[in-house]
A and B are shown apart, each in its own frame.
Chain A
């Protein structure tokens, strides 16, 4: 498939452990197109997050990778840390699970957006501050010009995740990796964040790699789905196909585990 924005080809991640090296991600392959959302689903420990961290070269010390990860045709695996810095946050940015611990409590949200923008785009603090305010407005944070000077602990959980998303998108990346972005939030806020991500994607054309263990979330946002189990990719296909006609036993198990509102109550 030429012209794909982002290609992961046969990615394997090996971590050193006290009992020898362990493959936590095994031969994973998938692609993300422009404007497309690919969901990666699996239980915790299935290697979803490791896949994401491998893409940006943020794996724990001693980790080894093989295979290929390409953005717009350029190989990312095996590049030096210094080299990857221009990619991180700029071409590929990331939103993490817990927005409170993922933002630095010692600095205003404005400064945390500004430092990232200025690292990649340069310019004055004033210009960066304007960008930060615009970024906050884009994720519908009310009174952004005032809120830009607030600290993370002064925001609610949902608003904090909006800040993270605003930050992730401030350099207009071509790929956004969202690692369980709604897991730490309550259900109504989850829906708002998903809606926001969908809306932003349709205006920016950013490709999205959406990691979650929540099948309901995936079905509402992803066009393609990769199911992982213990580091193995067990099923990969369009969302429709995976959900309506799961080929793999494990996918079926996952789908059956989702409680349904029309389930019969056991008497």
Chain B
């Protein structure tokens, strides 16, 4: 069984989208988790709902809303057009779809780790002369490290499987925006593609297993510590 060049490209693109999406989402997710874990402000519940919404919304709906926002008629899309940045129907759109859809998983994981931090540690640090940013860097970040790693692996896995939102805002162009799940979808819907679809499924399963194993190892390590 031989993969066509576009199949290899789909696998590589999926990996690339996953990596870039994780890197983009991490700082945002950390900040969001910090706000939810330690922040005391009005509208916190609303923010929490907003962050979690993609978890329950059909990804297709997320994709459609993103299309409305980022499309050439959308508020943000027009601004990006002026700046000469094109996002829709490029691989960058796939990254954005992954970031939005996987965000709740990432935030939840980091937030749980942060909420497990003894508040006395934060108070001790403050009384020892550490300002808020100092505390984030020297106390909160290192103590939520495992949550960050576990959340990132889960996020990466989710990003590898992202389909619904991606197909709407990135399209399904082989060699350009076609990720692994989209390629499988194409093969599965063509009469002669069954074999390749299965082979790509195997690749997908292997990738997901590897990431999940990493995730479990991190969690196990956490329990042991």
A and B assemble together? no
Chain A residues within 8 Å of B, Cβ to Cβ: none
